[in-house]
Amino acid sequence: MASAIITSAKHGAYVAIGLYLVMVLVVSLSPQSQHTFEAPIQVGHPGIQFEHRAQQGMADQADLAGVGGA
């Protein structure tokens, strides 16, 4: 009777260890299987372009004020 329980416990332990290893393998390989698709053309952030234009506009106003004052 005791040997049957021990044998059953051993088989249960082997099954649990096997399932754990399969779970670890699946979790570790899942990020590698994800594909990221990128657009063929990378577009800059519109805020950067707007900020650049705003700085040019401020410089133009400063130049006009300097010309008008001279």
Separation of alpha carbons 33 and 21, rounded Å = 18
Place of tokens 């800059």: 44
Is 20 among the domain residues? yes
Please report which confidence band the pLDDT of residue 6 belongs to, taking 50, 70 and 90 as the band edges.
very high
Is 68 among the domain residues? no
Please report which confidence band the pLDDT of residue 39 belongs to, taking 50, 70 and 90 as the band edges.
low
**Is it the case that residue 57 has pLDDT exceeding 60?**
no
Domain that holds residue 18: 1-32
Which residue stretches of 1-70 are H helix? 2-33, 46-69
**pLDDT at position 7, please?**
94
Is 13 among the domain residues? yes
Is 22 among the domain residues? yes
Place of tokens 């106003």: 61
What percent of the chain has a predicted confidence (pLDDT) above 90? 34
